[in-house]
Amino acid sequence: EAAVTQSPRSKVAVTGGKVTLSCHQTNNHDYMYWYRQDTGHGLRLIHYSYVADSTEKGDIPDGYKASRPSQENFSLILELASLSQTAVYFCASSDRGRDQDTQYFGPGTRLLVL
Amino acid sequence: GDSVTQTEGPVTVSESESLIINCTYSATSIAYPNLFWYVRYPGEGLQLLLKVITAGQKGSSRGFEATYNKETTSFHLQKASVQESDSAVYYCALGTLPGTGSNRLTFGKGTKFSLIP
């Protein structure tokens, strides 16, 4: 079954450390996205990608980098993790065409920065 | 910018009773956004519950319904008779139409629903 998987599912990181969150999709979708969700907020878009080897900034990209080495894989990188980056992170994918705004989500990664 | 406002949770209802979660939107980037309800069950990612792309139309899935009301800019989610398996967090969202150069979704904060024990 087509799916979006994320790893790790949870992580504890130290302030100033590097964190990499990984996302893998078997939907054969061109578009992939990274969101974060904080308590009391909706999901907010960090980075997205339309095609392999290319990424775009979303609404809150500061402090994050993204990498799309292949159609299936999309990583989110926190070079210097900070307390304010404690959140749940969701990856999603969508197809091109009429339904490109119908997104399919992974289970989320819960990140705690201490 | 675009925004979505939905019922602040948690919402609790007795089994077999009806559920309504309100959603209103403000779309500045596009006149007729696509409207969505996503649901997140415990331990899982968000999944699409229903989507409506035409003003005036109603979407339905798993016993839930929502009507796209352009006049009141609303997209309220309703179910006539809830059950335990409906306990989840529900997210209202709006999206841009394909071809506009953007396919972002703008989400509400989510409404947690559970049955009264």
Task: Tell me the mean pLDDT in the region A53-66.
Answer: 93
**Which residue of B lies nearest to A107 if distances are taken between CA atoms?**
B45
Q: How far is A107 from chain B (nearest CA, A)?
A: 4
What's residue B98's pLDDT?
A: 47
What's residue A2's pLDDT?
A: 54
Mean pLDDT estimate for chain A: 93
A67-97 pLDDT, tens digit per residue, is 999 999 999 999 999 999 999 999 999 988 7
B5-9, B20-24, B50-54 — which one is most confidently predicted on average? B20-24
What's residue A40's pLDDT?
A: 81
Structure confidence at residue B99 as a pLDDT band (50, 70, 90): very low
B31-89 pLDDT, tens digit per residue, is 888 999 999 998 888 999 999 999 999 999 999 999 999 999 999 999 999 999 999 99
Contact B46 A94 (CB under 8 A): no
Residue with the larger pLDDT of the pair B96 and A114: A114
Q: Which residue has the tokens 């409506």?
A: B52
B102-117 pLDDT, tens digit per residue, is 567 899 999 999 998 8
- Sort out which chain B residues have CB atoms less than 8 A from A29's CB and list them: none
Contact B45 A103 (CB under 8 A): no
- Residues contacting residue A52 through CB under 8 Å, at least 6 positions apart: A68, A69, A70, A71
DSSP secondary structure string, A19-35? EEEEEEE-S--SEEEEE
Range list of β-strands (E), chain A: 4-7, 10-13, 19-25, 31-37, 44-51, 54-57, 65-67, 73-78, 87-94, 104-105, 109-113
Structure confidence at residue A59 as a pLDDT band (50, 70, 90): confident
Contact A101 B34 (CB under 8 A): yes
